[in-house]
Amino acid sequence: MSRQSANPSAGKRRRPESEPQGRVDAERVILNLIKDKKDLGIWLRDIKQESKLPDPTVNKSLKSLISKNLIKEVVNFQNKGRKHYMAFEFEPSKEITGGDWYVNGVLDQELITVLKRVCLQYLERKVIADLEDVHDVLKRKGIVNFTITSQQVDEILNAMVLDNDIIEVKSTGVGDYRLIPIGKTCYRTASGAGVVKHLKTGAFGSIPCGACPRISVCTPDGVISPATCVYYTKWLNVDF
C-alpha cells in the first residue's frame, strides 16, 4: 500500500475557514452597543471606551459591520469632525441632524432666507400680524417639504427681530391692531410701515405705546414710564 493511500485525508481540498470567533464576538459587542443608543447613535471614542476592545479590533469591526449594512456612519451637526455610528434600521434624531433646518449636518441658509423673505413681504402688505397669522401663511405657501410648526415659525420671526428686519410689538387692540387681542405679541416691519395708517385712525390709535417692545414693563411710577418716555412726549406734541 502506498503512503498516499494510507492517509485518508491526503489530497482533499481544505474547506474555507470561517471568521475567527474573536472577531465575531467583537462585532457582536460593538453592534449591540450601537443598537442600544438607538436614534442617538454613538461617538467612536465612546465605542472604544465602553467596549474596552483594542483600537485595531474596533476599527476592523466597524468596517465589517458597515459592509454588512448593519450600521452606518452619520453626521452630528454639532461635531462634524467626530465619527458617529448608528444601527442601520434607525434614522438620526433631531439632536443629531439639527432638525429640519439642517441638511447633512449643514444649516440650510437658503431655505431660511426664503422663509424670511416671504415673512417680510407678508408683513409689508399686512402691516401687523401675529405668530398664528404668519404660520398659516407659510403653511399655505407650501415652501417647505415638511410640516412646519408654530415653534419653527417663531424661530424665524425671532431671528428677523434680532436682524432688525421686523419689530416685536404688543397689540393695543385699536387701529391696525383691532383684530388682535390687546397685549398679544405681534410683528411689523422695522421700516415703520403702518405708522401713517395709525395716524389715519385717530390720535389714540397712533400712540407709540402700540409699537413699543417694552410696554409690558411700563408703569406710571416705574423706571420705564410715560413720564420719562421721549417717544410719548414727542407724540403729545404732534398736531393731529
pLDDT band of residue 14 (cuts 50, 70, 90) is very low
What is the phi/psi pair of residue 117, to 5°?
-65, -40
How far apart CA 209 and CA 171 sit, in angstroms, is 9
Residue with cell 406734541: 237
Residue 47 or 232, more confident: 47
Identify the H or E element spanning 189: strand 185-189
DSSP type of residue 20: P
Mean pLDDT of the chain: 77
pLDDT band of residue 81 (cuts 50, 70, 90) is confident
Q: Which amino acid is at 154?
A: D
34-45, pLDDT tens digit by residue? 999 898 888 999
Share above pLDDT 90 across residues of the chain, in percent, rounded to a whole number: 34
140 with 99, same domain: the answer is: no
54 with 144, same domain: the answer is: no
* Boundaries of domain holding 27: 21-104
CATH number at residue 78: 1.10.10.10
How far apart CA 180 and CA 4 sit, in angstroms, is 101
Of the three residues 104, 134, 165, the one that is the final residue of a domain is: 104
Residue 118 CA, distance from chain mean position: 19
Domain count, the chain: 2
The closest of 233, 120, 238, 134 to 180, measured between CA atoms, is 134
How far apart CA 6 and CA 17 sit, in angstroms, is 26
The answer to whether residue 97 is domain-embedded is yes
223 with 151, same domain: the answer is: yes
Whether the per-residue pLDDT at 199 is higher than 60: the answer is no
pLDDT band of residue 91 (cuts 50, 70, 90) is confident
226 with 130, same domain: the answer is: yes
Whether the per-residue pLDDT at 236 is higher than 60: the answer is no
176 with 146, same domain: the answer is: yes
The answer to whether residue 100 is domain-embedded is yes
Whether the per-residue pLDDT at 15 is higher than 60: the answer is no
The arithmetic mean of pLDDT across residues 213-222, rounded, is: 62
